[in-house]
Structure 1
């Protein structure tokens, strides 16, 4: 697609998902980088990728690479994005884009100087009914937004024997659940409404203060119990759960619950937005249904059907009515958006995909959440 060629850093859950989406676009994946050379070779063989890089320096120095996909642990994002920018590469980076707002602000500055495109993979925007909801909210169908509430719940870290690199603040950052999945929710609702979160009041809780840390790497969502000889007991310094009160710039209020220890909730992002005329709600575990609520007429459940949807929503719907859209499709639609923008070469136009600036805003929000949780007070979110 568009003649652009990609390389992927990271061969775990996310790296594999990126490569599968790129293949659906007919983008040539020229090579990949694993956490070790051996893991890179194994992944390249499994995914039929022709080249394995020995280092990230080798990857960004490759003249056959136009776009770099960064799917590594968070502590590597800043240095990798910076190196890619210095080599004039376009970037799609997993979220959170960095571990601090200082790092993300520096990348924004470097990207503007380099004149390249950097997108952050807030892919959940790309469910068709989220685009439909945004169109209805922006058109004023629900009236003035009053209340935004919801959550993002998972259960893959509910056991003391569950471990992943995200738990380690040196690798994932000081915030875990909020940065990993809470930023998806905050990005989503601000994109849907066009509003900004101006202030937060947060409480962070670690329900499992000690976990069994694996001596070997563990894939995300591996869901496997371990034997004691494979692990050592470790203090946990990141949150399992967060409750965050929100104030928006139009006077609306919000509540966000984030948890990675909610048994039975595999990947439930949901939001409900109440306005002066109507309410609207969506749940990622039932992604092809959009609920619309009214005071004085029957409520509605809109089932995804491009023939009944806004033009923008139709553009990200790959299948006709009665055919479900799913998680892998959101990667495809985001990548199509980014690659199309790069190919058009008119970077003066406002992008429709999640930008580096959006990623930076999420880091500013994360730091406000952390300050609020430590102080027990409302904290204004800096511009």
Structure 2
């Protein structure tokens, strides 16, 4: 059994708590909250010990792993403290607002034999794993365009979201998910990136479009907004190739699911693969994390190496938007995600 602590008490932390109830190998035993928040812990957390001191979790020999669900600007410091305390780690994306510090974090984890994963949970959804295998096998021919969209509701919690120094804006905090997903699907890093953003509250980017160009010739588009409403579709991923295409639909805000429709270019009928379980990817990720912790195996996906690639490309996109020009990103990593 992997005994876990969660740092944070917001929506993301609540989702991890909910998912851990479905993972037989894991148990939530402690939650670290901000001072004054312990009396407001939602019921989804169950009844773990609650503290407002991170050291209470780090110094507890009964805790094997820590799940970090705090604002992005705090991720790197807390993650380093967790690893130095000898605990396994799940750290929410992005791993940090300074991607150049992620390799040192990876080295620290390797030196201490600790498992680290980042919740790019789409990598653990069976329908998307199958789709990626088909893309990699060339079933859709040469990929010409990959399109990812992700919207969030305008009433998202947390004042930190509207502080650029804390959230990093929509590209770093949210669209990094789509950047990772497209790189994973295509199996390569982009060579150049450009981006456009909308300045929202406090001049923080709350809507953006990121354009990626890959060495294979494929074009990737990642876009989204923090100021959507429930009637707008939640998210999607489209893959268009010379021999066929696929469309991944995430449903709507109050009814999320995983649905992939695909067809060959010369076939009139579409193939449908669907799953009505919004937490499926998170469950798969936590099951894999627990297995890696228990047996000392490196994660097969959503590791720090891949998370560094996504964060570095996202940071380049932020700079491209700021300077309104295309930027090269080739050479960020020695190999593809």
TM-score, normalised on structure 2? 0.89
Structure 1 position 198, deviation (Å): 2.0
1:282–1:290 CA contact under 8 A, matched in 2: yes
- Partners in 2 of 1:249 and 1:68 — Cα distance? 38
1:169 paired to 2:198:
no
- Residue 279 of structure 2 aligns with which residue? 328
Write out per-residue CA displacement over residues 138-165 of structure 1, whole angstroms, 9 at most, x where no aligned residue: 222112222212322233259xxx8642
Are 1:363 and 2:319 an aligned pair?
Answer: no
Matched, 1:293 2:291: no
Is 1:261 matched up with 2:227? yes
Whole-angstrom CA distance in 2 between matches of 1:247 and 1:257 = 15
Structure number with greater Rg is: 1
Deviation at 1:364, TM superposition (A): 0.7
Where does structure 2 lack aligned partners over 5 or more consecutive residues?
Answer: none
Q: Which residue of 2 aligns with 1:199?
A: 192
Structure 1 residue runs of 5 or longer lacking an equivalent are: 211-235, 305-323
- Pairs aligned (count): 326
- What secondary structure does 1:186 align onto? helix
Secondary structure at 1:366 match in 2: helix
Distance 1:335 1:264, change over 3 A: same
Task: Report if aligned partners of 1:153, 1:265 keep a CA contact under 8 Å in 2.
Answer: no
Shift of 1:261: 2.4
> Does structure 2 retain, via aligned residues, the 8 Å contact 1:136–1:142?
yes
1:363-383 Cα shifts (integer Å, max 9, x gaps): 211221122112222111133
Cα distance in 1, alignment partners of residues 158 and 92 from structure 2: 20
Structure with greater strand percent: 2
Paired residue secondary structure (1:88): coil
Of residues 281-290 and 140-149 in structure 1, the stretch that sits farther from structure 2 once superposed is 281-290
Match of 2:133 among 122, 126, 135: 135
TM-score if structure 1 supplies the norm length?
0.79
Displacement, 1:266? 5.6
- Which residue of 2 is the match for residue 339 of structure 1? 290
Q: Do 1:9 and 1:32's aligned partners in 2 also have CA atoms closer than 8 Å?
A: yes
State the partner residue of 2:241.
275
Query: Which SS does the other structure have where 2:49 is aligned?
Result: coil
Match of 1:47 in 2: 45
Partner of 1:33: 32
Counterpart among 138, 144, 148 of residue 146 in structure 2:
148
Moved more, 45-54 or 372-381: 45-54
User: Which range is displaced more, 101-110 or 197-206?
Assistant: 101-110
CA shift for structure 1 position 300: 0.4
Distance 1:155 1:11 in 2: 19
In 2: Cα distance, 1:42 partner to 1:163 partner: 15
Query: Cα distance, 1:44 vs. partner?
Result: 8.1
Please tell me whether the aligned partners of residues 127 and 287 of structure 1 are also in contact (alpha carbons under 8 angstroms): no
Match of 1:123 in 2: 121
| Cα displacement (A) at 1:102 | 2.5
Structure 1 residue 45 displacement after superposition: 7.4
CA contact (8 A) 1:154 1:266 kept: no
Deviation at 1:5, TM superposition (A): 0.9
Q: CA RMSD in A?
A: 2.2
